[in-house]
Structure 1
Amino acid sequence: MVVLTVKVDGKSLVFQWQLQVRQESPRHLQARVLYTLLFISSLQDTWNIHSRSGRNDPALPLPVLGKVEP
C-alpha cells in the first residue's frame, strides 16, 4: 500500500492506494501519485485566487507537505 499524507493548515489529508492483485507497475503507481499532487496543487492555486478576490484574508501560500511511504 502507498500512503500520501498532505498537511494543509494543520489538517491532514490522507490518500491511499491499494496495489491490485495483478501488481501494478511502479510507473503506473508513480503516475497516480503525481496526478494526486497536481490535483492538490490546483486546489492551492484556486485557494490563492479566492483569497485575493476581495475578501479580508491575506493571500498566503497554502503549505503543502507530501510524504510517500512504501
Structure 2
Amino acid sequence: MSGVDWPRLMRLGLVELGLAPDAFWALTPAELMLMAGGGAGGAGAMTRAGLDALARIYPDGSRGERHDGG
C-alpha cells in the first residue's frame, strides 16, 4: 500500500478542481496541492490582491513584445 489516498486526490482534482483526467495525471502532487490552495509555507490560494500585485510587477507588454518564446 502506498499510503496515498487516491480516491480523495482524484475527487479533489477531477470533481472539485474540474480537471480533465489527462491533466490530473500529468500533475505532480505538489502542483495539485498548490492548485487546491495549499503549498509551501502555508500560503493560500491566489487572491485578487495577489494577482494585482503580480500584474504591477510583471505588466503585459504594450509594445508588441511576445511572451511565447518567439
* Category of TM-score, reference length = shorter chain: under 0.3
Of structures 1 and 2, the one scoring higher in RCO (CA 8 A, sep 6+) is 1
Structure number with the higher strand fraction is: 1
Q: Rg bigger for which structure?
A: 2
Tell me the TM-score normalized by structure 1. 0.26
User: TM-score of the superposition, structure 2-length normalised?
Assistant: 0.26
